[in-house]
Amino acid sequence: MAKSKSKVLLIYTGGTIGMMQDPKTGSLKPFDFKSLTNQVPELNKFDIELSSIAFEKPIDSSNMHKDVWVKLANMIKDHYKAYDGFVILHGSDTMSFTASALSFMLENLDKPVILTGSQLPIGIIRTDGKENLITAIEIAGAKDKGKSIVTEVCIYFEYKLYRGNRTFKYNSEHFDAFKSPNYPPLAEAGVEIAYNKNALLKRGNGKLKVYTELDNDIIVLKLFPGLSKKLTSSILNTKGVKAIVLETFGAGNASTQEWFVNELKAAIARGVVILNVTQCHEGRVVQGMYETSRQLKNIGVISGHDITYESAVAKLMFLLGQKLPHAKLKQQLEKNLRGELSE
Ligand code: ASP
């Protein structure tokens, strides 16, 4: 019996991959999706059945927000049965945030959701977009013994497949724009696509569960030497804030000045959740390793371990959206839910 072709759904949200230069202003702006497929006739040669949906108004990913994440999660839910994999074309600037958010919103995936984009528009001769698009589609359709090889939310960029919630954009010029410092690539594309099978997330063993409640009542406080008491206090006392990502130094360290610790302590007493995420891109938070993080642990700051800033923001929005009791929320934050942290 002939093997049936994999079916992949391409969702175009916007980003450089589908942009062109505005002749009047010289700035890059999104163009319509039909032009994108015209630019890549190779797509017709695939042994994969490809369908596409494009946002009516494609966006630069700097305009990404939680309602679009909900829209994307619902699109995947609505088309989940009909397709073997999904490719989301997305601007690279906030791609790691979207990949992280979707990883939490889509539980028990047994099919791949691959985000990709490019640094140069697809119509430009030296574009990186064609390779990114073509290989992302190939990975989205790839199966072994009839089952998808990849069953998680990933980013494919410049010959590497990454776990999405482990990435960050680190370069605005190089084609190799993403890094995943605390987790190895899931695959590398050379002559063949070599999957790192031990690194892949285990297939979901239940039915897909889609979470669409997100709460963005969070703020980020990035520490620097000389932080002002007045402004720190005003940030921590912001009305309506439910959680704070505290971007700390090194292995999760912060000033031991009394006023600072007291401000954090008071915020925690008001029910604000404080998550300690290091400013370092590699390594992890170990609260108590230094004297300068012991006080954080003692007052109830939660360790983000080796989670990225992008993933921490998305995880907080996801968990707050579930309106969990405080103790459960704290426990889930420290727990590895979708491969986003090494406990
Ligand atoms: N500003 C663009 C965006 O994120 C950059 C890109 O696509 O790479 O939408």
Domain residue spans in the chain?
6-210, 218-333
Report the C-alpha gap between 317 and 187 in whole angstroms.
Answer: 29
Of 13, 16, 135, 151, catalytic: 16
CATH architecture of 6-210: 3-Layer(aba) Sandwich (3.40)
218-333 folds as: Rossmann fold (3.40.50)
Tokens 């073997």, residue located: 84
Q: According to the model, what pLDDT value does residue 19 have?
A: 76
Give residue 302's pLDDT.
96
Q: Which atom of ligand 1 is nearest to the CA of 59?
A: 9
Q: Give the per-residue pLDDT at 304.
A: 96
DSSP H or E segment with residue 110 = none
Euclidean distance between CA atoms 116 and 94, whole angstroms: 11
Q: What is the pLDDT of residues 294-320, one digit of tens each?
A: 899 999 999 999 999 999 999 999 999
Q: In what order do the strands lie in the sheet with 302-303?
A: 218-222, 243-248, 273-278, 302-303
Q: Tell me, what's the pLDDT at 179?
A: 97
Closest CA to 47 of 158, 128, 143: 143
Give catalytic status of residue 292 as yes or no. no
Rounded to whole angstroms, the Cα distance separating 218 from 236 reads: 11
For the chain, the maximum distance between any two Cα atoms, rounded to a whole number of angstroms, is: 73
Amino acid at 185: P
* pLDDT tens for each residue of 61-99: 999 999 999 999 999 999 999 999 999 999 999 999 999
Query: pTM (2 decimals)?
Result: 0.95
Point out the ligand 1 atom lying closest to the alpha carbon of residue 60. Answer: 9
Evaluate if residue 174 carries a pLDDT over 60: yes
More confident site: 38 or 203: 203
Q: Is the pLDDT of residue 29 over 80?
A: no
Provide the pLDDT for residue 33: 63
> Percent helix, strand and coil across the chain, each rounded to 5?
30, 20, 45
Give the DSSP H or E segment for 263: helix 258-269
Question: What is the 256 CA–ligand 1 centroid distance (Å)?
Answer: 39
Average pLDDT rounded to a whole number, residues 208-213? 98
**Is the pLDDT confidence value at 122 over 90?**
no
Residues with CB under 6 A from ligand 1: 14-16, 60-62, 91-93, 117, 119
Q: Which two structure tokens, joined as six digits, stand for 80?
A: 């989940």
The DSSP symbol for 4 reads P
Q: Which residues pair with 42 in a beta bridge?
A: none
User: Any idea which of 32-41, 139-148, 320-329 has the lowest mean pLDDT?
Assistant: 32-41
Angle at 131 (CA atoms; ends 125, 132), nearest 5 degrees: 115
